Structure 1
Amino acid sequence: MTATPETLLENIDEAPQQNDETTLGNSWLLGFDTETTGTSSQDAIVSASLVLRNPASGYEGDSISEWVINPHRPMNPAAGAVNGFTDEYLEAHGSEPQDALTQIAEAVRQAQAKNIPLLAYNAPFDVRMLRTDMEHWNLEPLPKALLTVDPLVIDRAVSKRSGKRNLAMTTAYYGVPPHGDFHDATADTVAAVDLIKPMTVLYPQVGALRLAELMTWQRQAYTSWRNSFNDWLASKGRRVIRDTWL
C-alpha cells in the first residue's frame, strides 16, 4: 500500500482514463491531506499524504505516498500540540520543500490529466496551502481549475444531521472506521476517501453525479450552506462569512 512518489506516479499512469460521464460512485480518487505549521496564509505544510483509490478494490488496493517537510519556519505551538510536529523533528527528518512539493504537484497534475478528482476534506484549506507553498518556493503553479471532491461540502448538502462536522465526527456518522489516529495526514486522507462509498450508498444522487457537473454542484451546495449559516450568524449579531469554495 505504501508507495514511493515514483510508484504512485506509475499507479496513476496505469489507472483508467476517466471522462465527463464518469460518476462519482464509480470514480477513481486521489485523496489529499496536509498538516501545517498553522492555519494562516503565512503558514506552511509540514506533512502531506496522497492516496490513490480504486473504487473496485477500496482501502486494500490503495497506493499511498507520504511526505514530511521541513518548512524552514517555526511551528505554531497550538498547531504542534495537535499534529505532534516540532521544529527539531522537522529540521532533522523533513524533506526540502522544493523536492516534496514538486513530487506532490506532479501526482496531482497526472491525476487531473486522467480526470481523477483530487479529494480533500474541507478542500479549500489544503489546496490553498499547497498553492501558497508552491508560490513561496517559486515552483510551477498548479492549474487554476482542479477537479475536486470535498466530502464536507457534500455532507452539508445531503445530511440534515446536527452537531459538529469535523472529520472524526463525520466518519463516525457514516460508520467509517479510522485507519490510524486523526490529525495524521495519511489517516485523515484515507478517512476522507473512505467517506465517499457510504455517502453514495446512502444518497444515490451523490453517487450519480457526473464528473462534468461535480464542481458546479459543490459550488452551489457551498453557497446554499453559507447563506443559511450567515442567516444564523446574523441572527446572533455575529459577523457573516464571505468565503467561497474552489
Structure 2
Amino acid sequence: MDMTPIKNNTDTDIAATMLDAIAQVPAQDDDTTLKEAWLLGFDTETTGTGSTDAIVSASLVLRDPTRGYEGDVVAERVINPHRHISAGASRVNGFTDEFLEANGAQPTDAIAAIGSIVSAAQTKHIPLLAYNAPFDVRMLAGDLKRWNLEALPDELLVVDPLVIDREISHRHGKRTLTYTTEYYGVEPHGDFHDATADTTAAVDLIRPMSTLYPQVGNLRLGDLMDWQRQAHKKWKDSFNLWMESRGRRPITDSWL
C-alpha cells in the first residue's frame, strides 16, 4: 500500500479512502505486540486549550509496521471551527480566523469523517496513537458532541508515547514532542506544529522506543491501556510530591 496523501479531497473522499485502507489491515487481537501493530496516528491543532475550544486542523496517519513511513496512508483536513482562534494558538499553529473561514471545511462534515475513521480503526483493534493523547481525544470528543455527531467508542485503545517515555526513559529535561523525538533520534518530516508532521513524528517514536526498551515493543495490545494508566498514575504521584514540596498545587488531571 503506497503512501496516499488525501488532504485536498472532500470529506467523503477522505473517509472512504482511509476506511478502505483500514479494511485491508490484517486482524489484530489482544496478543498483538506494540512493535507488530498497525497504528493510527492522530494530531490536532486547535483554537485554544480550553473545554470550549475546537479543532482547526487534524491529521491521521495509518502506519504499517513492516513498511514504516514509506507505507503511510495520510489524511489531513483544515476545519472552519466557527469560533474565534485565540492569539496564543494562532502564534503556535499559524492559523487565523480569516484563513479558516476562507479555507476550512465545514466541521459537521470534517469532524464526522475523522470520527468514522477512528471508530473503524478501533473495530480492527488498531490503536489510536497521539502524543499527550488525552488532549487530542478530548478535543475530538468535544467537537463530535458540539455538532451532534456519533460519539467515539466508550473504550478506546490508545498509544501515548509521552506516557511511555515518562515510564521508561527516566531522563531529565523537557518532554515536548520536539525534545522527545530528538532524544530518540527521530528526524521530523516537515515542521513541528504542522498536524501531519507532528502525527508522523509521534508514530515514528514507537520503533526506536521498542529498540531501546524491548519491554515497550513487547507490550501486548490487551495490556496496553492498564500499563499506561498505571504509568501515568506513577508519574503523577511523583510529580505531585515535587509540586507540593515547593508549595504548589498538585495536578488532578487523569489519563484516559
Q: TM-score range by the shorter chain?
A: over 0.9
After TM superposition, the score normalised by the length of structure 1 is 0.99
Runs of 4+ residues deviating >3 angstroms? none
Listed as ranges, the gaps of 5+ residues in structure 1 are none
Q: Say if 2:71 is the partner of 1:61.
A: yes
1:11-26 matched pairs, under 5 angstroms: 11-26=21-36
Residues 68-93 of structure 1, C-alpha deviation per residue, up to 9 Å, x if partnerless? 00000001011001100000000001
SS of residue paired to 2:210: helix
The alpha-carbon deviation at position 6 of structure 1 amounts to 1.7
Cα distance in 2 for partners of 1:27, 1:49 equals 19
Q: In 2, Cα distance between the equivalents of 1:81 and 1:95?
A: 21
* In 2: Cα distance, 1:224 partner to 1:120 partner: 20
Q: How does 1:69-148 map to 2 (within 5 A)?
A: 69-148=79-158
SS in 2 for 1:40: coil
Partner residue of 1:187 out of 186, 194, 197: 197
Which deviates further from its counterpart, 4-13 or 96-105? Answer: 4-13
Distance 1:80 1:109 in 2: 29
- What's the % identity of the aligned pairs? 65
Gaps of 5+ in 2: 7-13
Paired with 1:68 and 1:129, the residues of 2 have a C-alpha distance of 15
Distance of 1:62 and 1:52 partners within structure 2: 6
Q: CA deviation at 1:225?
A: 0.1
| Aligned-pair CA distance for 1:5 | 2.9
RMSD, aligned α-carbons: 0.6
CA distance in 2, matches of 1:32, 1:64: 10
* Cα offset, 1:221, TM superposition: 0.1
Provide the residue aligned with 1:47 in structure 2: 57
Aligned match of 1:218: 228
> TM-score by structure 2 length?
0.95
